[in-house]
Amino acid sequence: MKDAQPNTVYLKDYKLPEYLIDSTKLHFELQPKGTLVKSQLKVRRNPAAGAGLPPLLLDGVELELLSVSIDGQLVPASRYQEIPAGLSIEVEKPEFELEICNRISPENNTSLEGLYLSNGMYCTQCEAEGFRKITYYPDRPDVMSKFTTTIVAPRQYPVLLSNGNEIERGATEDGRHFVTWEDPFAKPAYLFALVAGDLQRVEDSYTTASGRQVTLQIYTEAKNIGKCAHAMRSLKKAMRWDEEVYGREYDLDIFMIVAVDHFNMGAMENKGLNIFNSACVLASPETATDATFQRIEAIVAHEYFHNWSGNRVTCRDWFQLSLKEGFTVFRDAEFSADMNSRAVKRIEDVSLLRTQQFAEDAGPMAHPVRPDSYMEISNFYTLTVYEKGAEVVRMIHTLLGAEGFRKGSDLYFDRHDGQAVTCEDFVKAMEDANGVDLTQFRRWYSQAGTPVLDVTDSYDEASGSYTLTVRQSCPPTPGQKEKLPFHIPLALGLLSAEGKDLPLDEAGNTQLVLPVTEAEQTFHFSGFAEKPLPSLLRGFSAPVKVRYDYSSEQLLFLMRNDSDAFNRWDAGQRLAFAALGQLQKDYRNGKTLQLQPELVEAYRSVLRNRDLDPALVAKMLALPSEQTLAEEAERIDAEAIIEARKFARHALAEALKEDLLESYRRLHKDKPYSPEAADIAERSLKNTCLDYLCATEDADALLLAQQQFDKAANMTDCAAALAALVNYGNETDVDKSLETFYERWKVDTQVVELWFSLQSGSARWGTLERVQTLMAHPAFELKNPNKVRAVIGAFANRNFAQFHRTDGSGFEFVAQQVIALDKLNPQIAARLVIPLTRWKKYSSALGEKMRQSLESVMQSGKLSADLYEVVSKSLQ
């Protein structure tokens, strides 16, 4: 925690580093309470930064300084100064060797940045500004240096790892041992990593396109060694894919992944030594669900892809974070689409964007993909920087085409290899390689908020011409009242009455990407014998909201006929939105609820359609989540949302019972587990059917769930059945099943996390009282972010009904946990508080309760910079 009130950092204040570090030699003597760090830096005045020799400013947080030497001479304390942010040293010559010794305490480090202990193993997390918790250093991404690292540790830590290649190992006189690593690539400090522990490993190898052999290793605690195979397979697939699609090869002789139980995020791309949250790398069919298998494949690929988009070419400053994250998320999304179902992957990503990112863009923390300012950079690892940033890169891909985009990425990697650059450099490379002008497009990087497209159309029978009118607008966001028009690629198809794609131009193209660039614009098409039906924003070609006044019949028609799978799904979503909107209204007006028969019939025909990918059917059968409904609402009436959705689920389940049962039986197969797309698809539809069936609360349906739970040979089926029981079963049975499950799986950390989140995230089971009981469970640990996410996070983010209890006790509970967590782990506290920050969107009584709980956090004492930024901005 920082002492002074947090400062705001501005992009416009960026200055070149005053000094460069040509090489960094680190020496660690590991001790839980007193790890000694010796750092030897070759320092050189940056010629580009100006004349003279200003003091050398080094970042440092919570460090105990032991000594400072320059060129082998101890520097007297009068020549340097410990300042709040670190250390200031007087400089006399433009080039010198600096040696600093300091001490740190990994054991007391609960923030999980810098060097810390997790289940007895040492590990580091340096992005974004964690290296300053290890030693004094210019901790900024535009200072790149060649690192050599020596780790000295007692023998009970047999495995000692760092970045690059191992160059030496041996014993010390006092019976400890050491290993020295050298990373031949210059890198910023945020990519530094160190691991020491009693770890086992699985090993494999990979031959690159140019024929180089690379050793691949995954390290875990011994008990998890059987859960690495999927990650290893995913890694090899990712390496091949990056060669084929981007022409990028791996560049070191060894690539290591380490699984760590205590981790703030998903995983980290440290050069040659990726560190993963155990939950994002360990899996076996018995312990992990299909969703986890797919998440692991995506994250392993994501971190691997960073080796080029992030490490070889890195960020100049943290305002440019989306340069590496937006691009890399786009890369991993395309990889996943190639490995699995493209349409389903797109639907999942867009669902996430629409619920979470749109909410962020409409809330108090809204910021552009490239923010202009921050108090604490950790708060800007957001859906906007990651997911919207990926959409921005996807739009460039759409505008340039696959080939043009590849030319652009080749130029980008070529031009900037070994450099720390900006989003501007990325766009410029895309422009230069293709001879296009993306001036207006750049506004996607600087303007926050979700643009809205209002689309109307008209048809002239006499001439057979069709006109589409598009108006764009973007709501104000903090600090940005007025927005200039965006360049929006609007992918369009027009359908005939037979449901066929009509030619849109002379060339006979049946899909065009319309360049929407003005506040209002019309597009003309001709040669139609009747009024066509527009299929708008195909494949979700831009991160915007599209309003067009579709009738129910038109939506049903699109659901059946659109050649764009994404838009077929989206038509169903629009239909469901309309139906749920009506139900909410009726609920508020005290009317009897009745589900639109069109929706029932639409779902029935989807369920009966055997030509569709079952995974797509499962997506099409899913009603928009409560969170999505909340995001779409002008004002959130939590009770109406909950009741409307509950009613719709129940009504659909009753009406479709026979069809659901038929599909369930057909898809419930007794076959060995495989995480292949086709099998995942069948399981997802089967378990969707099971969940609907249980929503009837019929004894027969619950018995099916119980049987599936009792017999399941894989975690996907087991967890789906348990979730259905938890949501709809009777209390005694559920209690027993939960108990059985826990006894069977208490040895497995990841399964216990799943067990926690199934309960906390369930509106029916996860009452506030039960969630409090879970926090007292021996397996719960406030210092472990995964446990916090599984219990408190699942409650606040997924348990819409209990979190929004009308007495405000759900909010108060979360506020209390946030306060407690802030003392241990500010990053996690600042994330957990987010569901409390949207109080302005709620109906007045509930919104006021939410605001009060946020206020209680503010008043609770001195907050970390992380939490202070989020809470203070949300109370404004």
Residues 491-530 that bind ligand PHE (CB under 6 A): none
Our CB check for ligand PHE shows the closer of 420 and 504 to be: 420
Minimum distance, C-beta of residue 398 to ligand PHE, in the bound complex (Å): 23
Our CB check for Zn ion shows the closer of 389 and 532 to be: 389
Minimum distance, C-beta of residue 295 to ligand PHE, in the bound complex (Å): 13
Minimum distance, C-beta of residue 760 to ligand PHE, in the bound complex (Å): 24
Does residue number 647 form part of the binding site for ligand PHE (CB under 6 A)?
A: no
Do residues 304 and 242 make contact, with C-beta atoms less than 8 angstroms apart?
A: yes
Among 381, 803, 813, 868, interactor with ligand PHE by CB under 6 A: 381
Residues 517-536 that bind Zn ion (CB under 5 A): none
Based on C-alpha coordinates, what's the Rg of the chain? 28
Does residue number 194 form part of the binding site for ligand PHE (CB under 6 A)?
A: no
- 360 SS3 class: helix
Please confirm, yes or no, whether 303 is among the known catalytic residues: yes
Residues 156-195 that bind Zn ion (CB under 5 A): none
Does residue number 134 form part of the binding site for ligand PHE (CB under 6 A)?
A: no
Does residue number 269 form part of the binding site for ligand PHE (CB under 6 A)?
A: yes
Residue 573 site contact among ligand PHE, Zn ion, none (CB < 5 to 8 Å, cut-off depends on kind): none
Minimum distance, C-beta of residue 321 to Zn ion, in the bound complex (Å): 9
Q: How far apart are CA 343 and CA 613, in angstroms?
A: 10
Among 125, 292, 322, 541, interactor with ligand PHE by CB under 6 A: 125
- Cα angle 648, 683, 344; round to 5: 75
Q: How far apart are CA 113 and CA 512, in angstroms?
A: 48
Q: For residue 495, give the amino acid letter.
A: L
Residue 268 site contact among ligand PHE, Zn ion, none (CB < 5 to 8 Å, cut-off depends on kind): ligand PHE
Minimum distance, C-beta of residue 826 to ligand PHE, in the bound complex (Å): 13
Q: Site map for ligand PHE, 207-246, x if CB under 6 A?
A: ----------------------------------------
- 258 SS3 class: strand
Do residues 220 and 195 make contact, with C-beta atoms less than 8 angstroms apart?
A: no
Our CB check for ligand PHE shows the closer of 264 and 434 to be: 264
Our CB check for ligand PHE shows the closer of 379 and 727 to be: 379
DSSP code for 197: E
Pick the catalytic residue from 303, 334, 348, 753. 303
Residue 631 site contact among ligand PHE, Zn ion, none (CB < 5 to 8 Å, cut-off depends on kind): none
Residue 125 site contact among ligand PHE, Zn ion, none (CB < 5 to 8 Å, cut-off depends on kind): ligand PHE
Q: How far apart are CA 306 and CA 302, in angstroms?
A: 6
DSSP code for 840: G
Residue 127 site contact among Zn ion, ligand PHE, none (CB < 5 to 8 Å, cut-off depends on kind): ligand PHE
Task: Select the span of 101-109, 124-132, 247-255, 849-857 touching ligand PHE (CB under 6 A).
Answer: 124-132
Residues 6+ apart with CB under 8 A from 413: 246, 248, 308, 312, 313
Do residues 260 and 282 make contact, with C-beta atoms less than 8 angstroms apart?
A: no
Among 115, 179, 194, 268, interactor with ligand PHE by CB under 6 A: 268
**Chain centre distance of CA 654:** 36
Residue 452's DSSP bridge partners are 473, 545
Minimum distance, C-beta of residue 348 to Zn ion, in the bound complex (Å): 18
Our CB check for ligand PHE shows the closer of 365 and 715 to be: 365
Q: How far apart are CA 470 and CA 476, in angstroms?
A: 20
- 3-state percent breakdown (helix, strand, coil) of the chain, nearest 5: 45, 20, 35
Does residue number 127 form part of the binding site for ligand PHE (CB under 6 A)?
A: yes
Residues 398-437 that bind Zn ion (CB under 5 A): none
Minimum distance, C-beta of residue 384 to ligand PHE, in the bound complex (Å): 14
Minimum distance, C-beta of residue 325 to Zn ion, in the bound complex (Å): 5
Looking from the CA of 634 toward its CB, the CA atoms found within 13 Å total: 3
The closest residue (CB) to ligand PHE is 265
Our CB check for ligand PHE shows the closer of 334 and 457 to be: 334
Minimum distance, C-beta of residue 324 to ligand PHE, in the bound complex (Å): 8
Our CB check for Zn ion shows the closer of 185 and 569 to be: 185
**Chain centre distance of CA 368:** 17
Our CB check for ligand PHE shows the closer of 126 and 533 to be: 126
Residue 583 site contact among Zn ion, ligand PHE, none (CB < 5 to 8 Å, cut-off depends on kind): none
Minimum distance, C-beta of residue 775 to ligand PHE, in the bound complex (Å): 25
Do residues 232 and 216 make contact, with C-beta atoms less than 8 angstroms apart?
A: yes
Minimum distance, C-beta of residue 309 to Zn ion, in the bound complex (Å): 9
State whether the Cα torsion 739-744-746-749 is positive or negative. negative
Do residues 328 and 362 make contact, with C-beta atoms less than 8 angstroms apart?
A: no
- 94 SS3 class: coil
Our CB check for Zn ion shows the closer of 330 and 569 to be: 330
Task: Select the span of 266-274, 441-449, 605-613, 833-841 touching ligand PHE (CB under 6 A).
Answer: 266-274
Do residues 786 and 119 make contact, with C-beta atoms less than 8 angstroms apart?
A: no
Does residue number 265 form part of the binding site for ligand PHE (CB under 6 A)?
A: yes
Do residues 652 and 599 make contact, with C-beta atoms less than 8 angstroms apart?
A: yes
Sheet bearing 512-516, strands edge to edge = 512-516, 488-495, 533-536
Alpha helices in 531-564 (DSSP H): 552-561
Residues 278-307 that bind ligand PHE (CB under 6 A): 302-303, 306
Sheet bearing 452-460, strands edge to edge = 520-525, 465-473, 452-460, 545-547
Own/partner long-range contacts of 662-670 (Cβ < 8 Å, ≥24 apart): 663/607, 663/689, 664/689, 664/690, 664/693, 664/704, 667/614, 668/708
Minimum distance, C-beta of residue 263 to ligand PHE, in the bound complex (Å): 7
Q: How many CB atoms lie within 10 A of CB 710?
A: 11
# residues near ligand PHE by CB under 6 A: 13
Q: How far apart are CA 852 and CA 586, in angstroms?
A: 30
Residue 289 site contact among Zn ion, ligand PHE, none (CB < 5 to 8 Å, cut-off depends on kind): none
Q: Site map for Zn ion, 314-333, x if CB under 5 A?
A: -----------x--x-----
Residues 307-326 that bind ligand PHE (CB under 6 A): 325
Does residue number 261 form part of the binding site for ligand PHE (CB under 6 A)?
A: no
Residue 151 site contact among ligand PHE, Zn ion, none (CB < 5 to 8 Å, cut-off depends on kind): none
Q: How far apart are CA 560 and CA 407, in angstroms?
A: 38
**Tokens 């290993």 belong to which residue?**
179
Task: Select the span of 263-271, 552-560, 816-824, 841-849 touching ligand PHE (CB under 6 A).
Answer: 263-271
Our CB check for ligand PHE shows the closer of 267 and 599 to be: 267
Task: Select the span of 101-109, 261-269, 460-468, 686-694 touching ligand PHE (CB under 6 A).
Answer: 261-269
# residues near Zn ion by CB under 5 A: 2
Our CB check for Zn ion shows the closer of 143 and 280 to be: 280
Residue 59 structure tokens: 């970042």
What's the length of the chain? Answer: 876
Do residues 281 and 137 make contact, with C-beta atoms less than 8 angstroms apart?
A: no
Our CB check for Zn ion shows the closer of 325 and 431 to be: 325
Alpha helices in 551-698 (DSSP H): 552-561, 565-588, 597-608, 614-621, 626-632, 638-667, 677-695
Q: How far apart are CA 566 and CA 540, in angstroms?
A: 7
Q: How far apart are CA 62 and CA 43, in angstroms?
A: 23
Residues that bind ligand PHE (CB under 6 A): 125, 127-128, 264-265, 267-269, 302-303, 306, 325, 381
Task: Just list the catalytic residues.
Answer: 303
Residues that bind Zn ion (CB under 5 A): 325, 328
